[in-house]
Structure 1
């Protein structure tokens, strides 16, 4: 299964207020394992950079001035994502910005059904606990020391690790071992290294069922034992 872990940085909180995307970072997963394939672009928002946003991600108007506008990278972005599920921390925020940018370029919007919201997953698994990316990195022992400011690619890489932990841990093979069909990996009974072999069937000898009824000798010994007890409750 192919999935895309995504993060964006923006000039503000609402695209309807004229705010734009300034950075996109994506990490590709295949069967929940990073493939090393990424999509990463700084984007010229064609507007000023508010101080509040600059303090979050450190991307200045001057730095972004020579970067491509969103329309120049839109097709490559759409091609990279394809129809894969998009794993996002607080999906509604990023999807709102992405679809505003795509619409402005004449592209179809990404359906919300394509998004996987890790905030919702975290709140479901840990009710009442902090669900920020930093808090989840701390919970799972993921090193986020390099995250002095928000950055789309770095945050996507961290989120990929968090997502794998939220979905049951990075050793996905342990879950596959419980799959009797052996599909998608080395399931129970699969031959190591044989990715498509499925379960390994072994011929085993058929053993007759063991008798559980007492023998005549055992019944006689039991009756003799009961004679030694005053009013035994086991006597039929």
Structure 2
């Protein structure tokens, strides 16, 4: 895989307050450049949700209402996130979730395409018992020594997802081959289905 042929790409991860639909409490945006995650230009934000963080969500990511009480509201950081993302490709694990939540919070944002490491993993490693982020970390064993924070925080999960993406990408020769298996149908960047030939 020639990583220099990739278009601009950000790995994203979001953490929510546990409600449905969720309010965001953390967003991480990690550029991937020349085949590596670029933590020097990454973006990470904590934000105070409009509705309280549920006890379950707080146990998962550790972000309590007290911890977030003095963080900016979403309206104070939305433009920064939108500006950083621009119209670049994004990648996330189980990307439908992150894309849907970000699209709801950034109604004028439209990425060029959406890669899903969950979908990519199912194509790359058929037959695994599980395809969760933890299961793939165990299977692929990426180098996470430079990962910030800890599991279930957006910055750590984005870094881990980036490393998984790069490891799986080596199984494909070209960007187009990667896109063909990694973009979920219906999301931006999905290849157009080939039309059936007709008589006319």
Q: TM-score, normalised by structure 1?
A: 0.63
1:4 match: 10
2:34 match: 31
Alignment partner for residue 64 of structure 1, among 64, 68, 71? 68
What's the CA shift for 1:150?
0.6
2:54 match: 50
Alignment partner for residue 154 of structure 2, among 152, 155, 169? 152
* Cα distance change on mapping 1:149 and 1:157 into 2, 3 Å: closer
Consecutive aligned runs of 4 or more in structure 1 exceeding 3 Å deviation: 143-149
CA contact (8 A) 2:92 2:116 kept: yes
What's the CA shift for 1:13?
6.0
Q: What CA RMSD, in Å, does the superposition of the two structures yield over aligned residues?
A: 2.3
Distance in 2 (alpha carbons) for counterparts of 1:69 and 1:116? 28
Distance in 1 (alpha carbons) for counterparts of 2:155 and 2:44? 6
SS at match of 1:110: coil
Equivalence map 1:125-144=2 (5 Å) = 125-129=124-128, 130-143=130-143
1:167 matched to 2:169: yes
Alignment partner for residue 23 of structure 2, among 20, 25, 29? 20
Distance in 2 (alpha carbons) for counterparts of 1:77 and 1:124? 31
Unaligned runs of 5+ in 1: 177-236
Distance in 1 (alpha carbons) for counterparts of 2:122 and 2:28? 24
1:120 matched to 2:119: yes
Distance in 2 (alpha carbons) for counterparts of 1:71 and 1:128? 43
Q: TM-score, normalised by structure 2?
A: 0.74
CA contact (8 A) 2:95 2:116 kept: yes
**Whose RCO is larger (CA < 8 A, sep 6+)?**
2
Cα deviation, 1:77-109, whole Å, max 9, x if unaligned, reads 011111111010011111111122123xxxx14
SS at match of 2:119: helix
Unaligned runs of 5+ in 2: 1-6, 175-200
